[in-house]
Amino acid sequence: MRTFVLRARAAPTDPRKLLAGVGGEAHAEILAHTLMNAFFVAQSHRDDVVAYLVLESTADFSRTVRFEGAAIRGLGGFHEQAWLAKIARALEASAGMGKDERRAVEPGLEVRTQSFERLAAELAVDHALYLMDRKGAPVAGHAFGPRPCFLLTDHIPMPKNSRAGLERLGARTLSLGRTMLFASQCVVLLHHALDQQV
């Protein structure tokens, strides 16, 4: 199983603002690109992937949207709009939820009013956490266990206090090189590294 978490600090939890923000400062399209690269392969998709988006630009609570490759249905095509529509559907379903509530939206799609820190703490129980960072250890040659979880951010870097909290949870930093990449590009390279171990 492979798990990816994208912390989208600029992404709005309002579905209308999210869809209107494509191409804008929040870069909502990066969410779709990351999901596309996490799940799709030529003429198929990966069943062994779980991806989380944590959207943090909100008036109340962060929204954590969970996608499960083995259960998701009706993707609607290999394009941004299909994935953005699924994210918006999850955000619509989260209306009126209190803190730390969970709601199933459709098969393979769930939304929670949960913070990034709380999600990371839950995942740390049975996953090996890896924070992607240019100054981390090289991915090449790293031996991954059966449940790696990769922590990525949008264009806003991970705050120092979050990094310290992740270190306390046992997260290790990994690097894909000195060039800053999009989260969606990191996912492709991480899949490649994992595929070489199979």
Locate tokens 């820190």: which residue? 117
Full pLDDT tens readout for the chain, 198 residues? 999 999 999 999 999 999 998 888 878 899 999 999 999 988 788 999 999 999 999 989 999 999 999 998 877 777 889 999 999 999 999 999 999 999 999 999 999 999 999 999 999 999 999 999 999 999 988 999 889 999 999 888 899 999 999 999 999 999 999 999 999 999 999 999 999 986
For residue 28, report the phi and psi dihedrals to the nearest 5 degrees: -60, -25
Q: What's the N-to-C CA distance of the chain in angstroms?
A: 12
pLDDT of residue 198: 67
Locate tokens 């969410």: which residue? 31
pTM of the complete model: 0.95
pLDDT of residue 136: 93
| HSE-up of residue 145 (Cα within 13 Å, Cβ side) | 9
Distance CA 71, CA 134 (A): 33
Which residue segments constitute the domains of the chain, with CATH numbers given?
2-195 (3.40.1280.10)
Query: Running DSSP on this structure, what letter comes out for residue 38?
Result: H
Distance CA 93, CA 184 (A): 25
Contact status, residue 19 vs residue 84, Cβ threshold 8 Å: yes
Q: Among residues 169, 172, 126, which one has the least CA distance to residue 146?
A: 126
